[in-house]
């Protein structure tokens, strides 16, 4: 710490801190346009000019580029500073249109605010201002009004420094300088919405929000991004009971204020006219509306009949990761206590082991990336599946100097920042791991880099056809690296919270292993044995051993990689009950459909990939007669004569804090008033019952690669796909690229493919990628009109007709 004097007051600030930030942290706000705390300073706008006393007298200097030093004397309100700031504003307003009444930024515009607080009060400009065609759609989501731009370069710098998509840039020179995109290259970034939020004027606006509301018309609550596992902080803004905008919140532990565009603009599903508003009962080939009493009565009767005829184990539940922790706790309580069945799973056969996800010994935090010397990413393409985590890893490599190693069947979004890029054919991951452990041959440099700690390893399934045991083996290897912390990752938003609440076949609430003899307070009458996971449930349903299936925010026909197995299971069971927001492909097969409240329509907590528990809040009411999941489940249990006794979501949260060991002491009050950025479970002083240590010996049967003559299948997800919440968002519904196949050019030439290929009989457009491992075909999962390929790790590929 050093001592500096700001406007006559001595303050203690960190040595080397930029003056603009040091002053702000000390209570003195210096106006600015170009400076942003998450980007490198450039000193372009000159609005932050201050006077600093030095050996040669008083110097007028930009505070955003001036580091503090001991004894520095600063003047931020002297007549010279005020005159300079007035001059800067007058120049900025020479050509800036005075269209505040129709500008989306009006009311929350830094230029507007600082003109009032620091401006000259009147303009000497009487000439005609500059005019441009407006607005220009520079992408599907962002519009540009060039005459409003003040050339602060925030958007340009974000695209270069943060997202790695330098698709917006300065053009021309002098008086004609402007920001724009390159010809025939739209601003096709997954993070374009961030430039709208950080733009200090109304030059960049969002097509989804343009002309929708004024800031003073909006109500807002703090919440958490419902579409990713990172736990991104968001502000939800609504007007007249309709959510209109998401803004990123600068949570230092998670997202640094950034959001991906799917998360930022994907909220429109909340007000979709296709939302379920009343309970439905199957009638012929469709459904008819019924009352809640009729629906719950029929559901309770059907479940009770199955239990009486076939036993509790004939009932199973899939889902629970789309709701809150309170919803998940109610579901686990219902299945293990009211029904008496341990067959439940929040994963959809596309994740990792529950013990690995929830209770890994030595599990890391996202913030560990700030101090890492080496980062290993052996997981799905973070840019596609974990976009904000991708930004944090990119920052570690680009700004903080970490050595980045990516291991994947093809080049990922981090390839341009990776020191070492290792590709392998799906199915050969275990062999690659053995070679990496030995540090032999071409992997010697990679192994040497991994010996430089601290090491952060991000581990997951690179694709849905990949052996899930590989991630366990990679985790076991990574835990032995110097000062290692490991982050196991899966895609579906509150998977970690649902698993922690016991929506898992081998876990009880609070990270207690099922099947043990340690007991579980409050669950003495529950079935605490180990049950079936999602794949086991679907196989048992297809074989006739599971007779009733409860779907909670789950669409197995779309989300389970083996869609054929899911279809056979849903066709074979006697009873399907669905709790959902939409009539999905799977819900359409349900006998009883119960409408659920969604995000922003209920309070609760969620848990991110670190195990960080955060609060989500309600700001709008749900459609029609929709109810919270926990309320539906509680009512259903009561009608079955096996009540749970839950009175409110907050009452459930108190039960979680009391009966779920790893969540001891984590209450709504704590999260609302003391730990607004969330708290990692377990808290200091609270013991976690299960400490999972994976082994390197795990290897699934048949994981040795594709069959001879076939292609190994890489089945990965893209940010935009045909998921129900994406389809129901008007702004992003058309952004999914559709189905296609990718081959290495060597393989494409070898089989004579050009234009299209046949993948297991499905004709798909062909793309070539030299970074894809030879002998591999990559097909994105769950795209519009995409083929069901997830039932096998290998496929046959042939030239398409006319190729």
Give strand ranges (E) for 667-716.
679-680, 711-716
663 shares its domain with 788: no
314 shares its domain with 368: no
Residue 428 lies in a domain: yes
- Tens of pLDDT, residue by residue over 595-645, are 999 999 999 999 999 999 999 999 999 999 999 999 999 999 999 999 999
Phi, psi of 352 (to 5 degrees): -120, 175
- Tens of pLDDT, residue by residue over 469-480, are 999 999 999 999
Confidence of residue 703 (pLDDT cuts 50, 70, 90): very low
pLDDT of res. 708: 40
Q: The domain spanning residue 17 has which CATH number? A: 3.10.20.740
Rg over alpha carbons for the chain, rounded to the nearest Å, is 28
Whether 393 and 419 have beta carbons less than 8 Å apart is answered as no
**Domain final residue pick, 489, 522, 544:** 489
pLDDT of res. 506: 95
Q: What is the mean pLDDT of the chain?
A: 93
Q: The domain spanning residue 477 has which CATH number? A: 3.40.228.10
484 shares its domain with 527: no
Confidence of residue 517 (pLDDT cuts 50, 70, 90): low
Residue 549 lies in a domain: yes
338 shares its domain with 384: no
474-500 mean pLDDT = 95
550 shares its domain with 641: yes
485 shares its domain with 505: no
Over 80: is that where the pLDDT of 696 sits?
no
pLDDT of res. 705: 41
Instruction: Using the CB atoms, write b or e for 532-544: b if 16+ within 10 Å.
Output: bbbbbbbbbbbee
549 shares its domain with 436: no
CA 649 → CA 108, 372, 507, 509, 657, distances in Å?
35, 39, 22, 16, 13
Alpha-helical (H) ranges within 239-375 are 261-265, 292-310, 325-333, 354-359
**Domain final residue pick, 458, 474, 489:** 489
Residue 265 lies in a domain: no
- Tens of pLDDT, residue by residue over 76-88, are 999 999 999 999 9
* C-alpha–C-alpha distance, residues 330 and 644, integer Å: 8
The total number of residues shown for the chain amounts to 803
Residue 186 lies in a domain: no
Residue 409 lies in a domain: yes
- Tens of pLDDT, residue by residue over 57-100, are 999 999 999 999 999 999 999 999 999 999 999 999 999 998 89
- Tens of pLDDT, residue by residue over 316-356, are 999 999 999 999 999 999 999 999 999 999 999 999 999 99
Sheet holding 604-607, edge to edge: 604-607, 612-616, 679-680
Over 80: is that where the pLDDT of 701 sits?
no
pLDDT of res. 520: 63
Q: In 3D, which of 578, 526, 529 has the Cα closest to residue 554?
A: 578
Residue 540 lies in a domain: yes
* C-alpha–C-alpha distance, residues 55 and 51, integer Å: 13
* C-alpha–C-alpha distance, residues 122 and 125, integer Å: 9
State the first-to-last Cα distance of the chain, in angstroms, to the nearest integer. Answer: 68
Confidence of residue 704 (pLDDT cuts 50, 70, 90): very low
Residue with token string 């007007």: 239
What is the per-residue DSSP string for 465-511?
TS-HHHHHHHHHHHHTSTTEEEEE--SSTTHHHHHHTT-STTEETTT
631 shares its domain with 537: yes
Q: How many domains does the chain have?
A: 4
527 shares its domain with 624: yes
391 shares its domain with 515: no
The boundaries of the domain holding residue 457 are: 362-489
Q: What totals of helices (H) and strands (E) does the chain contain, helices first?
A: 23, 37
pLDDT of res. 699: 56
368-397 mean pLDDT = 97
Whether 614 and 671 have beta carbons less than 8 Å apart is answered as yes
675-686 mean pLDDT = 92
Residue 499 lies in a domain: yes
718 shares its domain with 773: yes
* C-alpha–C-alpha distance, residues 403 and 452, integer Å: 9
553 shares its domain with 481: no
pLDDT of res. 697: 58
**Domain final residue pick, 641, 658, 680:** 680
Alpha-helical (H) ranges within 95-159 are 110-118, 154-157
pLDDT of res. 519: 52
Residue 308 lies in a domain: yes
Alpha-helical (H) ranges within 93-123 are 110-118
**How many Å separate Cα 708 from the centre of its chain?**
38
Instruction: Using the CB atoms, write b or e for 411-422: b if 16+ within 10 Å.
Output: bbbbbebbebbb
Over 50: is that where the pLDDT of 381 sits?
yes
* C-alpha–C-alpha distance, residues 501 and 287, integer Å: 32
């Amino acid at each position: 710490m050093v001592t500096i004097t700001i406007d006559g007051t001595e303050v203690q600030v960190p040595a080397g801190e930029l003056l603009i930030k040091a002053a702000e942290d000390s209570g003195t706000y210096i106006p600015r346009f170009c400076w942003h705390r998450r980007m490198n300073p450039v000193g372009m706008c000159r609005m932050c000019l201050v006077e600093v006393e030095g050996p040669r007298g008083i110097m007028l200097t930009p505070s955003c580029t001036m580091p503090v030093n001991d004894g520095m004397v600063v003047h931020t309100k002297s007549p010279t500073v005020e005159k300079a700031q007035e001059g800067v504003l007058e120049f900025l307003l020479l050509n800036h249109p005075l269209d505040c009444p129709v500008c989306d930024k009006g009311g929350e515009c830094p230029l507007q605010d600082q003109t009032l607080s620091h401006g000259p009060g009147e303009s000497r400009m009487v000439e005609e201002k500059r005019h441009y065609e407006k607005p220009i759609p520079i992408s599907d989501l962002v519009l540009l009004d060039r005459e409003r731009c003040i050339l602060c370069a925030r958007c340009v710098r974000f695209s270069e420094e943060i997202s790695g998509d330098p698709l917006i840039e300065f053009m021309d020179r002098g008086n004609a300088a402007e920001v724009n995109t390159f010809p025939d290259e739209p601003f096709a970034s997954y993070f374009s919405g961030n430039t709208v939020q950080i733009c200090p004027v109304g030059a960049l606006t969002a097509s989804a929000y343009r002309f929708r509301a004024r800031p003073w018309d909006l109500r807002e609550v703090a919440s958490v991004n419902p579409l990713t596992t990172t736990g991104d902080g968001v502000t939800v803004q609504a007007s007249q009971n309709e959510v209109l905008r998401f803004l990123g919140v600068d949570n230092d532990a998670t997202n640094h204020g950034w959001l991906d565009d799917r998360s930022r603009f994907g909220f429109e599903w909340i007000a979709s006219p296709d939302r379920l508003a009343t309970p439905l009962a199957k009638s012929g080939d469709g459904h008819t509306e019924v009352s809640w009493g009729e629906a719950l009565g029929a559901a309770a009767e059907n479940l009770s009949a199955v239990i009486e005829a076939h036993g509790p184990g004939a009932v199973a539940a899939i889902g629970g990761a789309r709701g809150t922790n309170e919803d998940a706790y109610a579901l686990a309580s219902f299945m293990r206590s009211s029904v008496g069945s341990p067959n439940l799973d929040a994963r959809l056969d596309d994740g990792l082991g529950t013990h690995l996800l929830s209770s890994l010994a030595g599990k890391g935090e996202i913030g560990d990336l700030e101090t890492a010397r080496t980062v290993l990413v052996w997981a799905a393409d973070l840019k596609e599946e974990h976009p904000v985590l991708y930004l944090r890893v990119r920052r570690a490599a680009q700004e903080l100097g970490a050595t980045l190693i990516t291991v994947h069947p093809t080049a990922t979004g981090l390839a341009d920042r990776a020191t070492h890029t290792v590709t392998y054919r799906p199915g050969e991951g275990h062999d690659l791991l053995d070679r990496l452990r030995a540090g032999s041959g071409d992997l010697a440099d990679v192994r040497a880099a991994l010996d430089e700690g601290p090491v952060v390893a991000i581990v997951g399934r690179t694709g849905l056809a990949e052996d899930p045991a590989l991630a366990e083996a990679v985790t076991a290897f990574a835990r032995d690296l110097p000062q290692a912390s490991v982050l196991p990752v899966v895609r579906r938003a509150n998977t970690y919270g649902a698993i922690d609440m016991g929506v898992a076949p081998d876990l009880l609430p609070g990270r207690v292993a099922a099947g043990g003899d340690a007991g579980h307070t409050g669950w003495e009458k529950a079935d605490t044995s180990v049950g079936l996971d999602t794949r086991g449930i679907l196989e048992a349903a297809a074989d006739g051993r599971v007779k009733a299936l409860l779907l909670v925010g789950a669409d197995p026909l779309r989300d389970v990689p083996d869609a054929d197995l899911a279809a056979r299971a849903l066709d074979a069971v006697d009873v399907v009950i669905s709790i959902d927001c939409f009539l999905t492909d799977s819900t359409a097969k349900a006998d009883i459909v119960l409408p659920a409240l969604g995000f922003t329509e209920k309070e609760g907590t969620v848990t991110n990939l670190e195990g960080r528990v955060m609060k989500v809040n309600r700001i709008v009411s749900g459609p029609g007669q929709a109810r919270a999941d926990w309320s539906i489940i509680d009512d259903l249990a009561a009608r079955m004569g096996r009540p749970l006794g839950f009175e409110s979501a907050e009452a459930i949260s108190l039960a979680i804090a009391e009966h779920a060991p790893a969540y001891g002491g984590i209450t709504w009050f704590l999260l609302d008033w003391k730990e607004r950025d969330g708290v990692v479970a377990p808290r200091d002083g609270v013991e976690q019952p299960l400490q999972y240590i994976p082994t390197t010996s795990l290897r699934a049967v048949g994981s040795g690669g594709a069959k001879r003559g076939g292609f190994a299948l890489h089945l990965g997800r893209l940010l935009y796909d045909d998921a129900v919440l994406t389809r129901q968002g008007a702004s992003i519904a058309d952004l999914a690229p559709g189905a296609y196949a990718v081959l290495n050019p060597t393989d494409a030439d070898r089989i004579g493919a050009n234009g299209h290929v046949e993948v297991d009989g499905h004709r798909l457009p062909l793309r070539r990628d030299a970074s894809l491992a030879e002998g591999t075909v990559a097909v994105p999962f769950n795209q519009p009109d995409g083929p069901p390929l997830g039932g096998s790790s290998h496929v046959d590929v042939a030239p398409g007709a006319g190729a």
